[in-house]
């Protein structure tokens, strides 16, 4: 691209000089048009945009990129010749340059066009390239630092919404600049229109383009979600929240160990239709057997069918679901403001300071605790949360590199793949079990993350679809790990919880399913001494996993409630059952003064003011 750009600039310079045109600013516009058109052509023909050799000069390894760059240069150069021809014939003439005031409003116009366009293109990309995305997820992820973010998603953002927004702003700017500085004529010296009062026009267009982009963006993410998030209040926390720190929890004399495995994007929907799923063939046969034949599964479906928990706002992406399941409280950005209270910081007592999690409960009871994952724990505030709420030993991608388990430059998928994760986990779990105190080993898988999951050459191709193959392979890996634990001396006194974090965001995987089918998140409790009076046709969510997990460890809970959660092993109805799923989901979208004051312990604006007063 760079070499062709230099040649293009040289030819354009000669052409403009020959026709006695001003060169510098026009060369800048032509170069920008060439670069953007080249990138658009690359994207249209599925060529990698962030390809450094192709961006410079690589005709042998990247011939298609070079051909598309030549095509882009030819198109822009032809447009230049048309401009010069029409200008020479007097159909339009350069009438005047902008003054300082007009330049200021013009730059403001281009900036507003870019921001408005970026809002729309980002919203469109988020809602159309991913599935099951709600407005609260978008706000929370925007509140987080980029540390640990999937590089593939960053590249996709640059290639799709960002490139589109830059292109729209550039084209809008060129069009407005041309109309503002040129006089149109039917023939030489016969004016059709002369531009006046340009600054007010530019300001009007700036507001129009920004408001249009904002309106279209809100339409994409859902007006009702945005309205509820910012302008409607819920009383659910005021009426139903039970502070776990104030409850007298009674542990058994012999405390049970806990292995809690968050299974990335694991749905009960992956099973076949005969047992409650939506697939023609069962992608998760081992997890199905664990749920229906061995453990205790809580299901929204009838007896003998695989089901699970309902997804709610504040528990619909990995970090928020991990927090919700372990604290009984959905996680959202306080008041939806993104400035001060970013939750991902690692300062003491900074992340969700008002909640009292299962980690803190078990820490108080003398448990050794570990969070184990193959990705970077710092992403979306997970490291901060688990360190501040339970003093977990964090063993993530960075830990594996430091320990020499993977090379310094190794990076696959979100860090390192689950095949290594389960192998490394065996050593860490054995280390925990070798200590005299009870333990809580919490783990997060990643291979089944969208888009299409992580497959290797060893992943069996049983279904002709990568995501199906990855899900089935993950099912096998989980089964192998569970059977390994069964052979260990610590197993008899260990309760295992297998649970999905959220519904998959792989948009095209369930594109053609029956709209009446209710997808649900997988769960099962293994090797627990507790029995539940009712496991089928239950309506529950991530918040109910907190008290239910403690109950599975034989912990007695006053009134069977913690946070917003209800012990599923008890006879108490969950809030989802009391209110109905749709109503509870709607209430969890709304803001709450109780939530900000007692759980987040201050809205972002209040935190900002407190910091300013110090």
Q: Residue 406 maps to which CATH number?
A: 3.40.720.10
Confidence (pLDDT) at 547: 97
Total domains, the chain: 3
Which of 89, 116, 142 is a domain's end point?
89
Same domain, 486 and 364: yes
Is 31 contained in some domain?
A: yes
Same domain, 225 and 259: no
Is 512 contained in some domain?
A: no
Which of 167, 199, 231 is a domain's end point?
231
Q: What is the DSSP string of 19-38?
A: TT---HHHHHHHHHHHHHHH
Same domain, 250 and 366: yes
Same domain, 528 and 458: yes
Same domain, 455 and 598: yes
Same domain, 124 and 61: no
Beta carbons within 8 Å of 186's beta carbon, 6+ residues apart:
91, 192
Q: For residue 184, say if its preceding peptide bond is cis, omega within 30 degrees of 0.
A: no
Is 511 contained in some domain?
A: no
Q: How far apart are CA 133 and CA 151, in angstroms?
A: 19
How many Cα atoms are found within 13 Å in the side-chain-facing hemisphere of 151?
Answer: 8
Place of tokens 């200590």: 435
CB 439, CB 368: distance < 8 Å: yes
Same domain, 470 and 589: yes
End-to-end CA distance of the chain: 53
Residues in the chain with pLDDT values less than 50: 188, 191-194, 336-346, 348, 603-614
Same domain, 403 and 342: yes
Q: How far apart are CA 314 and CA 225, in angstroms?
A: 13
Q: How far apart are CA 208 and CA 212, in angstroms?
A: 6
pLDDT cut 90: percent of the chain above it = 45
Considering only CA atoms, which of 89, 41, 85 is closest in space to residue 65?
Answer: 41
Which of 231, 255, 276 is a domain's end point?
231
Is 547 contained in some domain?
A: no
Q: How far apart are CA 40 and CA 162, in angstroms?
A: 12
Considering only CA atoms, which of 535, 94, 478, 563 is closest in space to residue 262?
Answer: 478
Confidence (pLDDT) at 445: 96
Kindly give the interhelix angle for 100-129 and 163-181, rounded to the nearest 10 degrees: 150
In what side-by-side order are the strands of the sheet with 92-94?
92-94, 182-185, 191-193
Same domain, 13 and 39: yes
Is 502 contained in some domain?
A: yes
Is 438 contained in some domain?
A: no
Is 576 contained in some domain?
A: yes
Burial of residue 608 (CB within 10 Å: 0-12, 13-18, 19+) is middle
Q: How far apart are CA 87 and CA 83, in angstroms?
A: 6
Considering only CA atoms, which of 152, 194, 196, 178 is closest in space to residue 48?
Answer: 152
Confidence (pLDDT) at 340: 40
The tens digit of pLDDT for each residue in 83-110 reads 888 888 777 777 777 888 888 988 999 9
Angle at CA 91, nearest 5°, toward 88 and 92?
85
Burial of residue 23 (CB within 10 Å: 0-12, 13-18, 19+) is middle
Same domain, 255 and 295: yes
Is 546 contained in some domain?
A: no
Burial of residue 200 (CB within 10 Å: 0-12, 13-18, 19+) is exposed
Same domain, 28 and 76: yes
**Domain span at 33:** 1-89
Same domain, 481 and 420: yes
């Amino acid at each position: 691209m760079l070499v062709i750009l230099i040649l293009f600039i040289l030819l354009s310079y000669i052409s403009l000089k020959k026709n006695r045109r001003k060169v510098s600013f026009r060369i800048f516009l032509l170069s920008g048009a060439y670069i953007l058109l080249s990138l658009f052509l690359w994207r249209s023909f599925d060529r990698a945009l962030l390809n450094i050799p192709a961006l410079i000069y690589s005709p042998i390894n990247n011939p298609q990129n070079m051909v598309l760059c030549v095509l882009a240069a030819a198109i822009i150069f032809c447009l230049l010749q048309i401009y010069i021809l029409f200008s020479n014939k007097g159909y339009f003439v350069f009438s005047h340059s902008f003054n300082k005031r007009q330049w200021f409003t013009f730059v403001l116009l281009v900036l507003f066009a870019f921001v408005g366009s970026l809002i729309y293109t980002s919203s469109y990309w988020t809602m159309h390239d991913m599935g099951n995305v709600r407005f609260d997820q978008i706000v929370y992820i925007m509140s987080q630092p980029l540390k640990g973010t999937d590089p593939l998603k960053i590249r996709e953002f640059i290639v799709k919404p960002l490139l589109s927004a830059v292109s729209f702003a550039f084209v809008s700017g060129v069009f407005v600049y041309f109309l503002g500085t040129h006089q149109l004529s039917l023939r030489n010296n016969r004016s059709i229109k002369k531009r006046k009062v340009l600054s007010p026009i530019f300001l009007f267009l700036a507001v129009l383009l920004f408001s249009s982009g904002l309106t279209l963006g809100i339409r994409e993410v859902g007006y009702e979600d945005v309205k509820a998030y910012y302008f409607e209040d819920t009383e659910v926390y005021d009426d139903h929240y039970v502070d776990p720190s104030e409850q007298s929890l009674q542990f058994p004399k012999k405390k049970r160990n806990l292995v809690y495995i968050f299974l990335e994007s694991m749905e009960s929907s992956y099973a076949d239709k005969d047992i409650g799923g939506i697939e023609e063939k069962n992608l998760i046969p081992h997890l199905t057997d664990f749920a229906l034949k061995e453990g205790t599964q809580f299901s929204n479906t009838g007896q003998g069918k695989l089901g699970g928990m309902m997804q709610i706002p504040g528990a619909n992406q990995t970090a928020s679901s991990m927090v919700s399941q372990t604290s009984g409280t959905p996680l959202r950005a306080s008041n939806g403001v993104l400035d001060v209270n970013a939750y991902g910081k690692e300062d003491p007592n900074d992340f969700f300071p008002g909640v009292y999690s299962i980690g803190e409960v078990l820490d108080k009871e003398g448990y050794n605790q570990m969070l184990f994952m193959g990705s970077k724990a710092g992403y979306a505030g997970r490291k901060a949360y688990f360190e501040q709420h339970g003093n977990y030993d964090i063993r993530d991608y960075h830990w594996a590199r430091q320990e020499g388990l993977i090379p310094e430059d190794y990076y696959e998928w979100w860090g390192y793949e689950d095949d290594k994760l389960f192998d490394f986990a065996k050593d860490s779990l054995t280390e925990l079990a070798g200590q005299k105190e009870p333990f809580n080993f919490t783990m997060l898988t990643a291979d089944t993350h969208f888009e299409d999951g992580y497959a290797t050459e060893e992943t069996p191709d049983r279904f002709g679809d990568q995501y199906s193959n990855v899900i089935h392979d993950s099912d096998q890996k989980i089964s192998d790990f569970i059977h390994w634990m069964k052979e260990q001396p610590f197993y008899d006194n260990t309760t295992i919880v297998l649970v999905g974090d959220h519904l998959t965001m792989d948009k095209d995987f369930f594109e053609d399913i029956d709209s009446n089918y209710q997808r649900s998140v997988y769960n099962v409790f293994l090797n627990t001494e507790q029995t539940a009076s009712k496991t089928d046709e239950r309506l529950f969510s991530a918040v109910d996993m907190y008290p239910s997990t403690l109950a599975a460890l034989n912990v007695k809970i006053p009134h069977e409630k913690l946070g917003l959660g209800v012990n599923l092993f008890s006879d108490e109805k969950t809030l989802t059952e009391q209110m109905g799923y749709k109503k509870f989901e709607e209430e969890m979208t709304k803001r709450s003064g109780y939530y900000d004051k007692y759980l987040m312990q201050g809205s972002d604006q209040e935190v900002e003011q407190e910091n300013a007063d110090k």
